[in-house]
Structure formats: structure tokens, C-alpha cells
Amino acid sequence: MTSEAIPALCGGCLCGAVRYASSAAPIIEGNCHCRDCQKASGSAYAPTLFFPLQAVTIAGDAKFFESIGGSGQPIRRGFCPNCGSQLFGLPSVRDDMIGIRAGSLDDTSAYRPQAEIFTAHAAPWDSMSDATAKFETYPPMP
Ligand SMILES: [Zn+2]
Ligand SMILES: [Zn+2]
């Protein structure tokens, strides 16, 4: 028996207190190299899948920190208040979407990055795939 159904993508934080699942496929997937994502993640970039907001269910109480994103509009970043794992991004400029950090997926092989964004701020010790599209700042969104 074959099925075209999209398997639910699910994941959660390091301690397991915050879990999530999406019933829809991601809209766009990519690595954000902006300074805020570097600071928040403690890494070279934030690998992120954007899903339709209404397709994602969250169990547990994520804490949200709001700052002004590269768009000039607020973005709220969600993390587990117990273990500190970065999980979500809610950009007010696209309030119909939720970003989810790829490293928090239960199966990280589901992540298929298509683009690198804010590459103007990429760390000199970072390396990028030849297969992804590169954008110096904000990308065109579907
Ligand atoms: Zn946790
Ligand atoms: Zn970013």
C-alpha cells in the first residue's frame, strides 16, 4: 500500500517538556545567518523550517523572547524555559507562519535546506553548501 500522505513532522526540546507536531509540509526551509540567530542559537546560523501556523500544535509551555528582526518588525523566539533549547520563531511580518529549528526535529534528516539568508553576516568560520540559494539579506517569501 502506498500513500501520498505527508508524515507528521514532530520534535521537541532537549528535556522533553515542550513538544510540537505539524500536520502540514514545510513552506520553505533554510539557514538564517543573521546576527540575532547567531546570538540566540550560539552557532553560525539557525536552520529553520517554516510551517503554516495553523498546522502546528505545541504541547508544553514555551517561553517567548521578542526582538526586532531583520525585517524591522518584531519576531518572537520560543524556547524551553527548563532546558533552554531554541524551538520556534514567530515573525510578525508573516503571522501566518511559524519557524521551527531543524535541530529540534525527532528526525533531523527531514530537513531540506533550500536557501541561506542574511549571508552578509555569515561567520568567517562557517561553510555553506553549494546546493543552496544564497541571499545577502531578506529572501523573497512564497
Ligand atoms: Zn526542555
Ligand atoms: Zn535570523
What protein residues have CB closer than 5 angstroms to ion ligand 2? Answer: 32, 34, 37
Could you give the domains of the chain? 9-134 (3.90.1590.10)
Q: Is the pLDDT of residue 4 over 70?
A: no
Query: CA-to-CA distance for 130 and 93, rounded, in angstroms?
Result: 29
Q: Determine the pLDDT at residue 15.
A: 98
Q: Determine the pLDDT at residue 142.
A: 66
pLDDT in tens, 78-96: 999 999 999 999 999 899 9
pTM: 0.91
Question: What is the arithmetic mean of pLDDT over 15-37?
Answer: 96
How many Å lie between the centroid of ligand 1 and the Cα of residue 88?
13
Q: Is the pLDDT of residue 3 over 50?
A: no
Q: What is the dihedral of CA 26, 27, 32, 36, to 10 degrees?
A: -90
Q: Which ligand is nearest to the CA of 104?
A: 1
Question: What is the arithmetic mean of pLDDT over 4-15?
Answer: 82
Residue that the C-alpha cell 510551517 belongs to:
51
Q: Determine the pLDDT at residue 59.
A: 97
How many Å lie between the centroid of ligand 2 and the Cα of residue 8?
25
In the sheet with 9-12, reading across from the earlier edge strand, the strands are 9-12, 19-22, 56-59
